[in-house]
């Protein structure tokens, strides 16, 4: 996924947050404010941050080591974003950050201040489902539903990236999202149909 942080990046950042060392500079320009926050906060302490989620600014107290996934689910009670593997392998935790999909278990909440975060709860407009959500229902593109919020968020990005020229292209673009129920055929059909509906 584009702009996705690797697990190693997260570990580096967490270590720097705990030790207050200059190791965080290895992150480059990714999150200077978060880096400064981490340095200023003793290990085990929380810091209050503001996250912009689904168009709302939300204040939340988190330790610098808390992932965006845990901040969303456990602090903000936005449990639509699922925790599957918690190590960057399944895609169940996919959200959009400034329009790009990321695995929220691989990024820290403090690094995402100032970004616009969209979760599956932010897609529908009142009673009107997002075209991708509607297409997933039309095509019966889920069984247990465990992977579905992540699949839907990834599909929204796949479509906006223009990766829907063929089933093979959709499969490739969605390959970071696993489905243990193997509903892949229906998922691809839903993404293709939603793309058509959205004029992409």
Rounded to a whole number of angstroms, the minimum distance from the CB of residue 69 to ligand FES is 6
**Per the structure block, which two tokens stand in for 87?**
């190590």
- DSSP letters, 127-149, are TBPPHHHHHHHHTT--SS-TTHH
Total of residues contacting ligand FES (CB under 6 A): 23
* Residue from 24, 90, 153, 170 binding ligand FES (CB under 6 A): 90
Q: Which is nearer to ligand FES, 37 or 186 (CB)?
A: 186
Helix (H) or strand (E) holding 16: helix 7-19
Helix (H) or strand (E) holding 185: helix 184-197
- Applying CB under 6 A, does 142 fall inside the site for ligand FES? yes
* Residue from 147, 152, 188, 191 binding ligand FES (CB under 6 A): 147
Q: Which is nearer to ligand FES, 47 or 108 (CB)?
A: 108
Identify residues 160-189 at the interface with ligand FES (CB under 6 A): 179-181, 183
81 touches 104 (CB < 8 A): yes
Q: Which is nearer to ligand FES, 101 or 130 (CB)?
A: 101
- Applying CB under 6 A, does 84 fall inside the site for ligand FES? yes
The interaxial angle of helices 148-160 and 184-197, nearest 10 deg, is 40
x/- mask, ligand FES, residues 101-120, rule CB under 6 A, reads --x-x---------------
The span from the CA of 45 to the CA of 33, in Å, is 17
The span from the CA of 132 to the CA of 2, in Å, is 20
Interface with ligand FES (CB under 6 A): 83-86, 88-93, 103, 105, 142-148, 179-181, 183
């Amino acid at each position: 996924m584009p702009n996705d942080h690797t697990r190693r990046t997260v570990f580096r950042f967490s270590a720097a947050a705990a030790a207050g060392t200059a190791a965080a500079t290895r992150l480059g320009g990714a999150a200077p404010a978060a880096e400064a926050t981490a340095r200023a906060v003793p290990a085990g302490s929380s810091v209050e941050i503001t996250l912009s989620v689904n168009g709302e600014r939300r204040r939340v107290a988190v330790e610098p080591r808390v992932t965006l996934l845990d901040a969303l689910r456990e602090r903000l009670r936005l449990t639509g974003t699922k925790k599957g593997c918690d190590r960057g392998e399944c895609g169940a935790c996919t959200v959009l950050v400034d329009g790009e999909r990321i695995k929220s278990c691989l990024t820290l909440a403090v690094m995402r201040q100032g970004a616009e975060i969209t979760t599956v709860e932010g897609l529908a407009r009142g009673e009107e489902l997002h075209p991708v959500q509607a297409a997933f229902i039309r095509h019966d593109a889920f069984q247990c539903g465990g992977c579905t919020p992540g699949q839907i968020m990834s599909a929204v990005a796949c479509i906006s990236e223009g990766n829907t020229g063929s089933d093979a292209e959709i499969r490739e673009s969605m390959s970071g999202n696993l489905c243990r129920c193997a509903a892949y055929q229906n998922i691809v059909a839903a993404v293709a149909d939603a793309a058509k509906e959205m004029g992409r």
